[in-house]
Amino acid sequence: MFVMIFSMTISKITSGSGPEKDLKKIVFCDRIMTKRTVNGKFTNGISISACGRTLSETYLKKIKSADIVSMYTGAMPWEFILNGKYQKKLQNQTDAEYWDLFEYKFLQGRPYTKEEVISGANLAVITQSLKLLIFGSDENVLGKTVHYTSMDLTVTGVVEDPPKTDQNAMGDLYFPYTLFKNYDIPNDYLGGFITAFRSSSHKQFVPIKNEVQEMIAKLDAADTTQTIFLSGPYSQIEKMMVGYGDPEDYSLGTSVFKYLMMALAFILLPAINLMALNFARIQERGEEIAVRKSFGASGKILRSQFLFENILMTLTGGVVGIILSYLAVALLGNSLSLRISFFSTVPLTFSFNYIVFAAALIACLIFGLLSGYLPAVRLSRMRPALYLKGGEL
């Protein structure tokens, strides 16, 4: 049950839904590290953050290998008082390309344009839930204003709320990032932006990554005061593997090996437990097995029978676990969440996926084989005469 819930939630996050339904066509740069250098030697000055506005705007957005390049802050907290009540929502500062990067469903109006972003127009796109919260039963809210800090933002569009499992298209209030002045120091590449690259095929990911890293290498070579390491661009699943690690230390192969070892340990522990239970089952059936072996049942037949029984029970348990996982998510999904990164948690979700379902059954089969093989071998080596006289298996 727990394996299925975890697998289904991770599958939903990595495959994408709602505005992120084409997530497999997008790669992200969201982590950069700089190390201060003096006379070519590293000092203790190390900084890690998201990409700076100047880096994203001046350099990364000029990448030609991608079909669409967008920069945005991602979901940031927005706290305000409405009708005397405290409210906490999410705001996301974006460029105009953001609306081509992700596929939001507009219920009213339109997104803000590139020209409006360049001019720093006080415009906003809001979600349906924020519309209901602020404007209540008003049907058409286009042209009305939403107060954000010291600004009044004119609503140009209303979008359907993104699913809570979306990690990149989150937000309640969206507005042009140019509403705030750029205070970046020219050679400081740190900041609060994510730069995303969308392509028509995953085959473009390698050229995109090469072009991005070539650009970073040029910036690094031209700056004698610091060394620059940019993480990615990475796909969603790679981003999750990287976590908040240092960009220069990350290796996809190392991360895959680490997670495979964790998965192996996760499988071996219950397999050992099942093995102990199977040894107990053999002890209980010792007389039956001894009598059958006395009447000519071979060790091969007994091993095959025991393995078949064990696999059948394990698969039955797997099916029951799948049913329980659905019931658990249906009843508790809104109150339970899964932490998938240092900053992010998502609610448990059930999304039937044939690959996940097949993987779960294969895992059950592996459980059955691992936990049943040694007890079956021990069973097949029984000496019936000795056992029936009071000996052990």
Q: List the single range of 2-11, 191-200, 309-318 with lowest mean pLDDT.
A: 2-11
How confident is the model over 151-172, as a mean pLDDT? 90
pLDDT in tens, 129-155: 999 999 998 889 999 999 998 899 999
From 58, 81, 80, 82, select the one nearest 69 (Cα to Cα): 58
Give dist(CA 330, CA 348) in Å, integer. 9
How confident is the model over 200-217, as a mean pLDDT? 91
Give dist(CA 232, CA 330) in Å, integer. 36
pLDDT at 277: 77
Mean predicted lDDT score pLDDT of the chain: 82
pLDDT in tens, 345-354: 666 666 666 7
pLDDT at 339: 62
The DSSP letter of residue 168 is S
The answer on pLDDT for 246 being more than 60 is no
What DSSP letter does each residue of 32-75 carry, written as one string?
EEEEEEETTEEEEEEEEEEE-HHIIIIIGGG-SSSSEEEEE---
The answer on pLDDT for 124 being more than 60 is yes
Beta strands 151-159 and 123-127 are: parallel
Q: How many CB atoms lie within 10 A of CB 172?
A: 24
Query: In one letter, which amino acid is 192?
Result: G
pLDDT-based confidence at residue 176 (cuts at 50, 70, 90): very high
What DSSP letter does each residue of 115-148 carry, written as one string?
HHHHHT--EEEEEHHHHHHHHTT-S--TT-EEEE
pLDDT at 202: 82
pLDDT-based confidence at residue 241 (cuts at 50, 70, 90): confident
pLDDT at 216: 92
pTM here is 0.74
From 4, 107, 103, select the one nearest 353 (Cα to Cα): 4
Q: Is 200 helix (H, G, I), strand (E, B) or coil?
A: coil
pLDDT-based confidence at residue 224 (cuts at 50, 70, 90): confident
Strand order across the 32-38 sheet: 190-191, 41-51, 32-38, 226-230
Q: 72 near 92, Cβ under 8 Å? A: yes
Q: 129 near 141, Cβ under 8 Å? A: no
pLDDT at 127: 96
CB-based contacts of 320, cutoff 8 Å, min separation 6: none
How confident is the model over 366-386, as a mean pLDDT? 70
Give dist(CA 257, CA 143) in Å, integer. 53
pLDDT-based confidence at residue 73 (cuts at 50, 70, 90): very high
Instruction: Tell me the β-bridge partners of 81.
Output: 86
pLDDT at 193: 94
pLDDT-based confidence at residue 52 (cuts at 50, 70, 90): very high
Within 13 Å and on the Cβ side, how many CA atoms surround 116? 18
pLDDT at 111: 97
The answer on pLDDT for 184 being more than 90 is no
Report how far Cα 138 is from the mean position of its chain's Cα atoms: 36
The answer on pLDDT for 244 being more than 60 is no
From 314, 322, 319, select the one nearest 372 (Cα to Cα): 314
pLDDT at 85: 92
Q: Is 190 helix (H, G, I), strand (E, B) or coil?
A: strand
| E strand map for 173-328 | 173-176, 190-191, 194-198, 226-230
CB-based contacts of 282, cutoff 8 Å, min separation 6: 289, 306, 375, 378, 379, 393
Q: How many residues does the chain have?
A: 393
Which two three-digit tokens encode residue 161? Answer: 């709320």
How confident is the model over 293-320, as a mean pLDDT? 79
The more confident residue out of 100 and 292 is 100
How confident is the model over 283-301, as a mean pLDDT? 75
| E strand map for the chain | 26-29, 32-38, 41-51, 68-72, 76-82, 85-94, 106-109, 123-127, 145-148, 151-159, 173-176, 190-191, 194-198, 226-230, 337-339, 345-347
The per-residue b/e assignment along 261-290, b for 16 or more CB within 10 angstroms, e otherwise, is eeeeeeeeeebeebbeebeeebeeebeebb
How confident is the model over 221-231, as a mean pLDDT? 86
pLDDT-based confidence at residue 355 (cuts at 50, 70, 90): confident
Range among 46-50, 156-160, 283-287, 290-294 rated most confident: 156-160
Which two three-digit tokens encode residue 215? Answer: 């650009």
pLDDT-based confidence at residue 179 (cuts at 50, 70, 90): very high
